[in-house]
Amino acid sequence: MPNKTFFWFFLPTGLAMILFIGLPIISTGIQSFYAQHDQVVKEVKKCDPFGCTVSIVVDQEATSILRDEKPLGKFNGFGTYIDRNHLAIEQISDFWKETNSFGEFINQVTNLPFYKALLFTLTYCLFVTPNVLLLGFIIALSLNAISRKIRGPLIFGTILPMIVTPLVGSLVLFWMIDAEGIIGANLQLMMEDPYLSLKSSRTLTWITIIIYGIWHHSPFAFVVFYAALQTVPQEPVEAAIIDGASRYQRIRHIVLPHIYPVVTFVALISLMDNFRVFEPIIGFSAEGSAQSLSWLIYDNLVNEEVILFGSAAATSMMTIIGIAILLAPVLIRTWKEFRTAR
């Protein structure tokens, strides 16, 4: 296709992506170097028969004029990045000096908002992704062994958790697991602990959200693995059976190598999706004990008094860097393949 024709065909979608994905990233980058204005204060001298007192009040008018003049805020350089709510360089070096043991230091650091969120996000990715791969693969294997006639409805049932939006999915589970729901109430009876509830323990909340994550993402892994299983050639499998290979050996040495590229694909996609975990935290109303990077950004953006653009943007930029680190190995591999292919 000539370049000119390509240009006109690609222009609409290219423009949409540049305007609404490319530019916003740049806009986020710029915003992250600014911080909202401080309130303008003025000294008010108040005199009464007993003497004069000087008090400091907020000059509302001057503040709003300043905000109108420079809506982006004041230039802050990397100030937002290193403040207490983000990388907290100063606090960490203080902790380093003050704390006695390494465990205590880690404990202090993970109480800072950014590191707390990072810890949760990484824990979530680390536990959800492998389990999703495993569960998805097992479901695919066992559905594959079921008679073809009834597979259709079974597949429909299996993919339900995936097609609902995460907020709805987590709400539906939350209403059952909460102390007033069917599972929560029965757990209380079984454990004989009337105060057992999701909100009472941080660990319990984390486990619940991770279980939700596995529940929600496994169907995706299942669908892809199921489709890949249909393409496994029959002859080597039959040869292996004749040679006396066990079921495990057949899966390990024939099926798995065949679908290996698909496994990396699923792992990559679910890693990317898990890294942006956010809606379940709202669905489970778990803000108190579990916060993710995306949730931090959301929280800054829905701030009641003044939207913290700078703070949200700084967290966004660091999230993007996180994504880049996750994607780097894949991108490098693709580039190498592309170079050798030419």
Here the tokens at position 228 are: 């890949």
Nearer to another protein by Cβ, of 165 and 200: the residue is: 165
Q: Which residues contact 16 (CB under 8 A, 6 or more apart)?
A: none
User: Which secondary structure element, helix H or strand E, spans residue 34, and what is its range?
Assistant: strand 34-35
Closer residue to another protein in complex, CB, 22/257: 22
Which among 326, 95, 125, 328 has a CA at the least distance from the CA of 217?
Answer: 125
Q: 122 vs 326, which CB is nearer to another protein?
A: 326
CB of 67 to another protein, least distance (A): 12
| Distance in Å, CB of 3 to another protein, minimum | 7
Closer to another protein by Cβ: residue 109 or 133: 133
Nearer Cβ to another protein, position 161 or 213? 161
Q: How far is the CB of 319 from another protein (least distance, A)?
A: 5
Task: Please state the closest distance from residue 132 (CB atom) to another protein, in A.
Answer: 13
CA 127, chain centre distance (Å): 13
Residue with Cβ nearer another protein (92 or 327): 327
Q: Report, in Å, the least distance between residue 275 CB and another protein.
A: 7
Contact 217, 159 (CB under 8 A): no
Cα separation, 91 vs 109, in Å, equals 8
Indicate the residue among 204 and 272 with the shorter CB distance to another protein.
272
* Residue 1 CB neighbours (<10 A): 8
Question: What whole-number distance in Å separates Cα of residue 184 and Cα of residue 271?
Answer: 30
Residue 254 burial (10 A CB sphere; 0-12, 13-18, 19+):
middle
**Calpha distance 186→163 (Å, rounded):** 28
* Smallest separation, CB 92 to another protein (Å): 24
Q: Which residues contact 82 (CB under 8 A, 6 or more apart)?
A: 88, 89, 90
E-strand spans in the chain? 34-35, 41-48, 51-58, 74-75
The DSSP output letter for 305 is S
Compare residues 53 and 165 and give the one whose CB is closer to another protein: 165
- Which tokens belong to 278? 């956010």
What tokens appear for 251 in the block?
């899966």
Q: How far is the CB of 28 from another protein (least distance, A)?
A: 4
Strands 41-48 and 51-58: antiparallel
Closest distance between another protein and the C-beta of residue 42, in Å? 28
Q: In the complex, what is the shortest distance from the CB of residue 54 to another protein, in angstroms, rounded to a whole number?
A: 36
Comparing CB distances to another protein, the nearer of 102 and 248 is: 248
Nearest to 223 by CA among 136, 326, 93: 136
